[in-house]
Amino acid sequence: MQTSRHRDVRASRRSSKGPSTVQLHRHTQKHPDAALRHRSEQFEALLKHLPLAAFAVDSDFTIRHVNSVALRFFGDIPDVLGRDFEEVMHIVWPKRHADDLTRIFRHTLETGEPYETSECIERRADRDVTESYEWRIGRIPLPDGRLGVICYCRDITRRIRTFEALRQAVESHQQQVRLFDGIASTTPDFVYVFDREGRLRYANRRLLEVWGMKLSDVIGKTVRQLGYEQLHQDLNTREIAQIIETRRPLKAEIAFKSPITGIFGIYEYILSPVLDPDGEVEFIAGTARDVTERKRAEEALREAQEKLREYANNLEATVQQRTAELQKTVNELEHFSYSITHDMRAPLRAMHSFAALLLDDFAPALPAAAGDFLKRIAISADRMDHLIIDALDYSKAMREELTLVPVDPEKLLRGMIASYPSFHPPAADIEILGPLPTVMANHAGLTQCFSNLLDNAVKFIAPGQRPHVRVRADKRDAMVRLWFEDNGIGIPPEMHERIFGMFQRLSRDYEGTGIGLALVRKVMERMGGSVGVESEGGGGSRFWLELNQTKPESAG
């Protein structure tokens, strides 16, 4: 059995046509040694010029002739010539292969049948390499007249390696193609490749599906040949020329009805150059995306925004118009209420004066009850007049322009205290813990606020107690807080916010209209300030006014 790994073994077994052993023996007997030497030299010369490895073994299986190429094959084995073939084979090859070779050589020697194999790949026993050979043997008469076996052998290791490398390259290339196709086919985009002449070289699955074609139907075709119109062909040609020239990608958008599918669509596409090793454009790779839906949504959004803008503009105009109308009406109403309120004071004053006259001049003639009624009329008229004055002040504060200037609060307060007997002893003690910083305020507005706070501070006091009010200031960043601390009846915490509303009065035991603090808040707001109160109820109140501090340059 032949166990050697001989691929594509084409052993040809023909019967030998060479001379028989008997004929040769007879022939050599006639010639002397010189003839033998001559033949031997001739034989060596023949082997020497062969481009292949060649060696011959004689009928005793001794290696007799080896050319220089074959010597390289035998390598490091010393004195190959004259050594036993079988022994040498067992040095060079593993036992199994050496046995095979010995058997094949012996068969050829005995029968004259030549043998050849085109590819023998074997790991060597004497070197750490695998070698590939193509070899053949035949039986020939050797120069000594006896029969021997000649072996021609070509090292095809490099050829085999080249083939293997080529096979691997092809496999790897095919793998790359499968990989690329796999990737390109999973995207919902269209992927395609053109050559420089605009012929399609690749189209991914998605594109083929849309076209309803097979890859083999489209490869090598131009856009026009695929069924697109001439204008698309012209566009494609122009774009490819541009990419070849610039070597830069190109991004564009196109809207059209596909002649292949009959569907209208908007497509965004990018064409990119694929460069060869010299940097020249070899192919043009394209990806395209159907953006029809997105474009429609964008268009709808744009229209909606446009409409919204239109509505907003109309709305603004309407609001402006209505505001102007409303402002006009408010102004008219304010003017009306101001003048009517103002005019109401004259009959009130008349009522008050006549009631006082009646009391002064006719008191003894009147019954006691009548005198009492007259007093009540006078008091009511007086209260009504206060109400009207407060209401007029409030509406003035609402309408008037309040110009802010630096005001010295201490000076203002001292002037007020001096002018009103109710603010100084024995009626009350008002203490100013100066100096108080200058603030930005409207003079009349601030006078009004101070007056209301001081009025309340000396008014809301328990019967029999003498009011004591302390005014001081503290600074908070750019603001100044002016404190008015009294020893009055105090305000329950839940009422701290309410008392700044219109007509809010916590007690009917004290005279008042409930407008004063509302007026203070309004005026403070219009001066860019604020007002508040701290009080636990029962133990006095601490009202504060906060205003912008005068800037250094305006203080001077």
- Using CB under 6 A as the binding rule, whether residue 467 contacts ligand ADP is answered as no
- Using CB under 6 A as the binding rule, whether residue 513 contacts ligand ADP is answered as yes
Nearer to ligand ADP, 311 or 510 (CB): 510
State the nearest-atom distance from the C-beta of 369 to ligand ADP, in Å: 30
Residue number with the smallest Cβ distance to ligand ADP: 512
Nearest of 480, 470, 479, 375 to residue 429 by alpha carbon: 470
- Using CB under 6 A as the binding rule, whether residue 541 contacts ligand ADP is answered as yes
State the nearest-atom distance from the C-beta of 452 to ligand ADP, in Å: 6
- Using CB under 6 A as the binding rule, whether residue 387 contacts ligand ADP is answered as no
The only residue of 198, 445, 516, 529 in contact with ligand ADP, by rule CB under 6 A: 516
Nearer to ligand ADP, 281 or 517 (CB): 517
The only residue of 472, 496, 505, 542 in contact with ligand ADP, by rule CB under 6 A: 505
- Using CB under 6 A as the binding rule, whether residue 447 contacts ligand ADP is answered as no
- Using CB under 6 A as the binding rule, whether residue 489 contacts ligand ADP is answered as yes
Nearer to ligand ADP, 223 or 491 (CB): 491
State the nearest-atom distance from the C-beta of 448 to ligand ADP, in Å: 11
Alpha-carbon distance 156 to 517, whole Å?
Answer: 115
Residue keyed to tokens 């750490």: 128
- Using CB under 6 A as the binding rule, whether residue 487 contacts ligand ADP is answered as no
3-state secondary structure of 196: coil
- Please choose, out of 50-58, 177-185, 287-295, 511-519, the segment that lies near ligand ADP by the rule CB under 6 A: 511-519
DSSP 8-state code for residue 488: S
- Using CB under 6 A as the binding rule, whether residue 388 contacts ligand ADP is answered as no
Alpha-carbon distance 104 to 111, whole Å?
Answer: 11
Alpha-carbon distance 283 to 200, whole Å?
Answer: 10
Q: Count each helix (H run) and each strand (E run) in the chain, helices first.
A: 16, 18
**Number of Cβ within a 10 Å radius of residue 72:** 10
Q: Exposed/middle/buried for 1, CB within 10 Å: 0-12, 13-18, 19+?
A: exposed
For residue 352, how many C-alpha atoms fall within 13 Å in the half-sphere facing its CB? Answer: 14
- Please choose, out of 125-133, 222-230, 318-326, 505-513, the segment that lies near ligand ADP by the rule CB under 6 A: 505-513
The tokens describing 186, both together, are 């999973």
The only residue of 488, 524, 545, 549 in contact with ligand ADP, by rule CB under 6 A: 488
Nearer to ligand ADP, 69 or 391 (CB): 391
The only residue of 460, 473, 545, 549 in contact with ligand ADP, by rule CB under 6 A: 460
Alpha-carbon distance 439 to 349, whole Å?
Answer: 38
Alpha-carbon distance 205 to 192, whole Å?
Answer: 10
Nearer to ligand ADP, 439 or 517 (CB): 517
- Using CB under 6 A as the binding rule, whether residue 512 contacts ligand ADP is answered as yes
Nearer to ligand ADP, 61 or 484 (CB): 484
Angle at 345 between CA 340 and CA 346, to 5 degrees: 105
The only residue of 506, 528, 530, 534 in contact with ligand ADP, by rule CB under 6 A: 506
Q: Name, in order, each residue with C-beta under 8 angstroms of 274's C-beta and a sequence gap of 6 or more.
A: 193, 281, 282, 283, 284, 285
Whether the CB-CB separation of 437 and 479 falls below 8 Å is answered with: no
Nearer to ligand ADP, 332 or 431 (CB): 431
Binding to ligand ADP in span 218-257, by CB under 6 A = none
Task: Report cis status (omega within 30 of 0) of the bond before 435.
Answer: yes
Length of the chain in residues, anyone? 556
The only residue of 29, 216, 230, 507 in contact with ligand ADP, by rule CB under 6 A: 507
Q: How far apart are the first and last CA of the chain?
A: 126
Nearest of 147, 122, 149, 151 to residue 136 by alpha carbon: 151
- Using CB under 6 A as the binding rule, whether residue 389 contacts ligand ADP is answered as no
Alpha-carbon distance 498 to 504, whole Å?
Answer: 7
- Please choose, out of 146-154, 275-283, 315-323, 506-514, the segment that lies near ligand ADP by the rule CB under 6 A: 506-514
State the nearest-atom distance from the C-beta of 516 to ligand ADP, in Å: 3
Nearest of 411, 424, 449, 464 to residue 531 by alpha carbon: 449
Alpha-carbon distance 386 to 375, whole Å?
Answer: 17
- The torsion region of residue 366 among left (phi > 0), alpha (psi -120 to 50) and beta comes to beta
Binding to ligand ADP in span 22-41, by CB under 6 A = none
The tokens describing 8, both together, are 């594509």
Angle at 532 between CA 531 and CA 533, to 5 degrees: 145
The only residue of 236, 452, 549, 550 in contact with ligand ADP, by rule CB under 6 A: 452
| Beta pairing, strands 468-476 & 429-432 | parallel
By rule CB under 6 A, what count of residues binds ligand ADP?
A: 21
CA distances from 191 to 244, 270, 552 (A): 19, 10, 73
State the nearest-atom distance from the C-beta of 431 to ligand ADP, in Å: 16
State the nearest-atom distance from the C-beta of 335 to ligand ADP, in Å: 25
- Using CB under 6 A as the binding rule, whether residue 117 contacts ligand ADP is answered as no
- Using CB under 6 A as the binding rule, whether residue 532 contacts ligand ADP is answered as no
Determine the longest span between alpha carbons in the chain, in angstroms. 202
The tokens describing 462, both together, are 């328990």
- Using CB under 6 A as the binding rule, whether residue 66 contacts ligand ADP is answered as no
Sheet strands side by side (includes 468-476)? 429-432, 468-476, 479-485, 542-548, 530-534
The only residue of 491, 523, 524, 545 in contact with ligand ADP, by rule CB under 6 A: 491
- Using CB under 6 A as the binding rule, whether residue 457 contacts ligand ADP is answered as yes
Binding to ligand ADP in span 331-370, by CB under 6 A = none
State the nearest-atom distance from the C-beta of 494 to ligand ADP, in Å: 13
- Using CB under 6 A as the binding rule, whether residue 371 contacts ligand ADP is answered as no
- Using CB under 6 A as the binding rule, whether residue 193 contacts ligand ADP is answered as no
The only residue of 153, 243, 387, 517 in contact with ligand ADP, by rule CB under 6 A: 517
- Using CB under 6 A as the binding rule, whether residue 448 contacts ligand ADP is answered as no
Per CB under 6 A, residues contacting ligand ADP are: 452, 456-457, 460, 486, 488-489, 491, 499, 504-507, 512-518, 541
